[in-house]
Amino acid sequence: MRAVWLIVLAGLTACHTFDPKHPAVGKPSIEPAETAVWIWLDDGIWHVRWTAGPGRAHRFQGSVSGVAGSVAEITRTKLDLANTVALVGDTVQFDVESPTAEVPSGEGFDAKIVGGCARFDLYIDGHHKPEHIRLGPRKLPAHHVPFERCP
């Protein structure tokens, strides 16, 4: 009987505390020195930012669409992104060459999606790089690209 309790106790200490908050809810601390795409959800708005990091320019491409609804509106972080971040039909499409200059909060856009669930198909330098996707305040990597998230 004692062995059973030790096994149960060992299993409980290895478990992580349940987090009722959705892992993508809340802004991460964006690290401009990292080449990454940062995604989070706040108040029903999906936020997408990219940072090129030092060394060389990077190309960020992709799309964000609704799973069961369309993109209702987008807001760009900079006016000059209007030529490279656009609402095409009911999908946000973007193709941005980001310079190496560090932008503390990242460049990108916000998207309000009907129904809340979003599908992300993202490329960095022409390749899916899930290890460079950061989700929510814990900066969790995506396990694969494309991927879907719901509030």
CATH architecture of 21-149: Sandwich (2.60)
Domain boundaries, the chain: 21-149
Distance of CA 65 to the CA centre of its chain: 13
Q: Percent of the chain scored above 90 by pLDDT?
A: 71
Residue 11: its pLDDT value, please?
A: 42
Q: Which of 141, 140, 113 is nearest to 128 (CA)?
A: 141
Q: Percent of the chain scored above 70 by pLDDT?
A: 82
